Structure 1
Amino acid sequence: MSITGENIIGFTTSATGTDQLRAYDPVSNATLPEIFTIATGAEVELAVNKATTAFRAYRHTSPEVRAVFLETIATEILAIGDPLLERAVAESGLPLARITGERMRTVTQIRLFAAVLREGSWVDAIIDPAQPERTPLPRPDIRKMLVPLGPILVFPASNFPLAFSTAGGDTAAALAAGNPVIVKAHESHPGTNELVSVAIQKAAQQCGMPDGVFSSLTGAGPALGQQLVKHNGIKAIGFTGSFKAGMAIFDAVTQRREPIPVYAEMGSVNPVLLLPAKLATAAEQVAQQYAASITMGAGQFCTNPGLLITLAGEATEKFAAALQQQLHSIAAGTMLNPAICYHYYENREQLARRKGVQTLVSGASQVAQTKGAPALYRVSGQHFLASEELQQEVFGPSSLLVVCADEKELQTVLSQLHGQLTATVMAEPEDLQQFAVALQLLADKAGRIIFNNVPTGVEVGYAMHHGGPFPATTDIRSTSVGASAILRFARPLCFQDWPQQLLPDALKDGNPLNIWRKVNGEITRDAVSK
């Protein structure tokens, strides 16, 4: 499959603009040859208009039709074969094994949403049948369910060129809910984006979807994204990236005549609470475990453990020494692009200069080779509390060890943490009762709590929640991974005294979809009895 550099707009391609960009290979430190044309304002209008028109038909497609569409997307992505893997490797610097696994994760989450559609209860159908004989006033027939929003704008992530990108969780969830999608392609992997976009385009045509159900536009810098964000035709936004970019999108939306939901995942330092009994019995084992987690993928995970919090003591000193030794032995890893690599070294140098911060590991800069060397810093709980900047994310293979003087200081540190995607507890059973207050303080700050494991790695399934309190995300209630991600792209609609023939199938008396519903307050699959 050749790469043309054109924008995908519904069932057509377009390249009317004069501005262009090229992708960069961080391993060879060379620009890739293909030229991509940046979308113009007219192409933005065309994509949004097509999506708006497509929504009128797509919103009424059956769950089965949309499930088949999603499964066809998954099949078309796999059909690209090695060229997709090779291109994603070239544009990200990530190893082939990682990209191969990520492709299967992408396909798995698409298929998960197909299963969610077939099971059907996600629409939250609730029926309160009429009670005309009720006194003193009759009860009307009231029925409620979730319905799609309209065209959704998706901003892919730099660190997952497949799973959090063009056909990633945001796109799959939005399409599953019945919404057209417009992707603003990530400028770090435009070739990967085009290959996947064409696969989605093919699937849409094969399945008889309306023209405009999916589009992908290329842009450099914030201009295209801001134009799309402010367009009245866009009804919700999914974003994965930095705090700065996420807040720029959020702020722009608040200035619209019609504000819309922004589901922005903006990173996290993912605190790890290392409790005394655990370090006393397994300091070296935990150090080895966390050295691997800190440096996995050159530290370029939103769940990278960037903050290690513990109490002063002999076990902590043993752990710190073992972690230093482990990190010294790990080679620098290729980072996603030169800008990310540059900011990694810049941010860790700023961290090292903060008052009270001690450098334990600081691998020499390899910014010229686009490689991130491991780093580890240490600070007292007192100094940590005095500087909010110490909570800022250093995106890369770096972590900060916070050593608290006593349990009271530990609790204060935990209570002052920002919102997080994850929080982890490394503990023995005897730790759990003694530090019950600390555990609750930690749980209050995160969307997912992990016990005796590492935060890197996010399972795709029904129970997963990948979100958290601000500033980890802009909406504490939402997740970007797992079956519940579909809920972000739907809204409740209540039908009162509506004729049976005009009701959605999910709300009809006979329950033709055979889904679980709440009728008169009870969960059932039964038909509504008269």
Structure 2
Amino acid sequence: MSMYTLKGVSLIGEDPASTSGSEFHAVDPGSGEALAPVYRSATAADIERAVQLAAGASAALAQTSGAERAALLRAIADELEAARADFEALVPRETALPQARASGELGRTTGQLRLFANLVEEGSWVDARIDRADPARQPLPRPDLRSQRIALGPVVVFGASNFPLAFSVAGGDTASALAAGCPVIVKAHPAHPATSERAGAAIAAAVQRCGLPPGTFSLLFDAGHAVGAALVQHAQVSAVAFTGSTAGGRALMDLAAARPQPIPVYAEMGSINPVFVLPAAAQVRAEAIATQLHASVLQGVGQFCTSPGVFVIPAGGDGDALRDALRARFADSAAAVMLTAAIAQRHAQGAAQLGAHADVAALVAPVQKAGCAQANLFEVSADAFLRDPHLQEEVFGPTSLIVRTRDAAQMLQLAAALPGQLTVTLLADEADYAAAAPLLLQLPRNAGRVLMNGVPTGVEVCAAMVHGGPYPASSDARSTSVGTAAIERFARRVCYQNVPDALLPPALQEANPLKIARLVDGVMQR
């Protein structure tokens, strides 16, 4: 099947780890069959060796040029593309995602690696700022002050369950951390270890090809949480990146905060991604909106972090027509296999809890088959939704809740009460713009991305993208895990005062040898 021979052990630098750890294996989500090979969890000795290698590589990697880091990122992209046949076989086997999804996600993964390569090769991302000395300033002279971003140090990345390539071993967190000059230790997701191993082997080959220290990258396996917890608490780890549930992200945040020297955890967590349908839009294009929203919810069996889980629509006849159109489409949805049996079970439990709520009406609530999910649709009044915070929690999978609002004032009240979100969406026609304006003032306070007349599934990888939001959507609303601004998570500012020009980093030298954009005495120049 795969041209690469799977080894079933962690990869530490250039070497495989010990084979003494506890055993586990991937499971075919459709059949429940155990998949070969058997994997070994990393041991305490493996963890220590990976962290020490990363710590040893940290200074050298931080001092590499933008061109050297760009070469690494492009080499990783090349190695991943060379393994396309392996990924197209492994991903469907371990995740039940189709081969086309594996191919598309591989393209996204290599694309974001090359995007970061372009960013660091150009170099202005370090945000160099220079305030030259002013010895004549009164009442005191001003010293020469120059600052830029530098790499934080070793970063631990947790692979995500729902994107086995783009948010996993070689995904955006790894790409942005390596671009910043940070060594990376990935804790692989146990649901797709073979996919993770193949991606890890590609990265290790690229590191070796570029002549970088072996500690630049390591990959550790574990069926549970012990390895991840040990990594987050290790004194030589400088930051953590995580994509997953609110409970998982919160646990890592608490571990990191309890350390003698706390470190940042950049966690992308839960979101219900509400869609607000304004009255004119509901009246004019109910059928089209229902088709659009249904397709968004069902994409990837509802296992996108941006899947819309709440539809806020007006009361009255136009809202009824939209509700009925949504109900017809949800009722006609086929069951599909979810990523893991545990995810399917949690989805079924979440849907059952919604259906059992005294204020919630079940519009479409089919019997869930083990390992699979079928679309669920529920309805509740805005009054009940506002009263009960549990109704505002994510049900990960193809389940959505319609919330009916009396008028524009209540829609705005609901918007203001929302917990932090990755996305909020407005579906509005021109006749709705007066009602949309106050919502567009409020909703940026609740979410990292505000959309109009689209769907939130589909996150463009580009300079302007924000994939994050106020807690609990993410642990730090100032950051993004997608797009080139993601590199800022793994760097910190350092100011050099009265340091001789010859001893300054190239980005801060007077002659600007890197030819980057810099803020000099308050004026942006190149």
Deviation at 1:159, TM superposition (A): 0.3
Deviation at 1:456, TM superposition (A): 0.4
**Sequence identity (%):** 46
Once the two structures are superposed, the pairs formed by residues 432-447 of structure 1 within 5 Å of their partners are: 432-447=433-448
Deviation at 1:29, TM superposition (A): 2.5
Tell me how far apart the structure 2 counterparts of residues 210 and 20 of structure 1 sit (CA, whole Å). 30
Q: Does 1:83 align with 2:86?
A: yes
Once the two structures are superposed, the pairs formed by residues 241-256 of structure 1 within 5 Å of their partners are: 241-256=244-259
Tell me how far apart the structure 2 counterparts of residues 194 and 333 of structure 1 sit (CA, whole Å). 26
Checking the alignment, whether the CA contact within 8 Å between 1:236 and 1:260 is kept in structure 2 is yes
Q: Does 1:314 align with 2:334?
A: no
Amino acid of the residue matched to residue 158 of structure 1? Answer: S
Which of 60, 64, 68 aligns to 1:61? It is 64
Deviation at 1:438, TM superposition (A): 2.8
Q: Does 1:269 align with 2:272?
A: yes
Residue 460 of structure 2 is matched in structure 1 by 459
Residue 419 of structure 1 is matched in structure 2 by 420
What do the CA deviations read for 1:507-526 (whole angstroms, capped 9, x no partner)?
A: 0111111100000011111x
Amino acid of the residue matched to residue 116 of structure 1? Answer: L
Residue 528 of structure 1 is matched in structure 2 by none
Which of 116, 127, 130 aligns to 1:127? It is 130
Deviation at 1:118, TM superposition (A): 1.6
Residue 409 of structure 2 is matched in structure 1 by 408
Tell me how far apart the structure 2 counterparts of residues 360 and 54 of structure 1 sit (CA, whole Å). 56
What do the CA deviations read for 1:63-93 (whole angstroms, capped 9, x no partner)?
A: 0000001000000011112112211111111
Checking the alignment, whether the CA contact within 8 Å between 1:15 and 1:38 is kept in structure 2 is no
Residue 393 of structure 2 is matched in structure 1 by 392
Tell me how far apart the structure 2 counterparts of residues 112 and 19 of structure 1 sit (CA, whole Å). 38
SS in 1 for 2:424: strand
Tell me how far apart the structure 2 counterparts of residues 314 and 438 of structure 1 sit (CA, whole Å). 23
Once the two structures are superposed, the pairs formed by residues 17-416 of structure 1 within 5 Å of their partners are: 17-367=20-370, 370-416=371-417
Amino acid of the residue matched to residue 392 of structure 1? Answer: E
Amino acid of the residue matched to residue 110 of structure 2? Answer: V
Checking the alignment, whether the CA contact within 8 Å between 2:84 and 2:103 is kept in structure 1 is no
Deviation at 1:15, TM superposition (A): 2.3
What do the CA deviations read for 1:87-117 (whole angstroms, capped 9, x no partner)?
A: 1111111011111100000000000000111
Checking the alignment, whether the CA contact within 8 Å between 1:25 and 1:90 is kept in structure 2 is yes
Once the two structures are superposed, the pairs formed by residues 429-508 of structure 1 within 5 Å of their partners are: 429-508=430-509
TM-aligned CA distance change 1:213 to 1:437, over 3 Å: same
Tell me how far apart the structure 1 counterparts of residues 447 and 73 of structure 2 sit (CA, whole Å). 31
Tell me how far apart the structure 1 counterparts of residues 514 and 360 of structure 2 sit (CA, whole Å). 60
**Mean Cα deviation higher: 192-201 or 9-18:** 9-18
Deviation at 1:442, TM superposition (A): 2.3
Tell me how far apart the structure 1 counterparts of residues 345 and 16 of structure 2 sit (CA, whole Å). 35
Tell me how far apart the structure 2 counterparts of residues 470 and 113 of structure 1 sit (CA, whole Å). 27
Residue 6 of structure 2 is matched in structure 1 by 3
What do the CA deviations read for 1:400-459 (whole angstroms, capped 9, x no partner)?
A: 000012233222211111100000000001211134223322232110001001100000
What do the CA deviations read for 1:277-320 (whole angstroms, capped 9, x no partner)?
A: 00100001100111111111100000000011121011110011
Tell me how far apart the structure 2 counterparts of residues 405 and 296 of structure 1 sit (CA, whole Å). 30
Tell me how far apart the structure 2 counterparts of residues 457 and 505 of structure 1 sit (CA, whole Å). 38
Residue 519 of structure 1 is matched in structure 2 by 520
Checking the alignment, whether the CA contact within 8 Å between 1:277 and 1:430 is kept in structure 2 is yes
Checking the alignment, whether the CA contact within 8 Å between 1:460 and 1:481 is kept in structure 2 is yes
Checking the alignment, whether the CA contact within 8 Å between 1:297 and 1:333 is kept in structure 2 is no
Checking the alignment, whether the CA contact within 8 Å between 2:408 and 2:435 is kept in structure 1 is no
Amino acid of the residue matched to residue 437 of structure 1? Answer: P
Could you tell me which runs of 5 or more consecutive residues in structure 1 were left unpaired when the two chains were aligned. Answer: 526-530
Amino acid of the residue matched to residue 386 of structure 2? Answer: L
Tell me how far apart the structure 1 counterparts of residues 378 and 525 of structure 2 sit (CA, whole Å). 55
Could you tell me which runs of 5 or more consecutive residues in structure 2 were left unpaired when the two chains were aligned. Answer: none
Tell me how far apart the structure 2 counterparts of residues 106 and 473 of structure 1 sit (CA, whole Å). 21
Tell me how far apart the structure 2 counterparts of residues 13 and 133 of structure 1 sit (CA, whole Å). 61
Residue 13 of structure 1 is matched in structure 2 by 16
Aligned residues: CA RMSD: 0.9
Deviation at 1:132, TM superposition (A): 2.0
Tell me how far apart the structure 1 counterparts of residues 128 and 406 of structure 2 sit (CA, whole Å). 53
SS in 1 for 2:215: coil
Tell me how far apart the structure 1 counterparts of residues 65 and 152 of structure 2 sit (CA, whole Å). 16
Tell me how far apart the structure 1 counterparts of residues 273 and 320 of structure 2 sit (CA, whole Å). 22
SS in 1 for 2:107: helix
Amino acid of the residue matched to residue 233 of structure 1? Answer: Q
Amino acid of the residue matched to residue 473 of structure 1? Answer: S
Deviation at 1:332, TM superposition (A): 1.3
SS in 2 for 1:239: strand
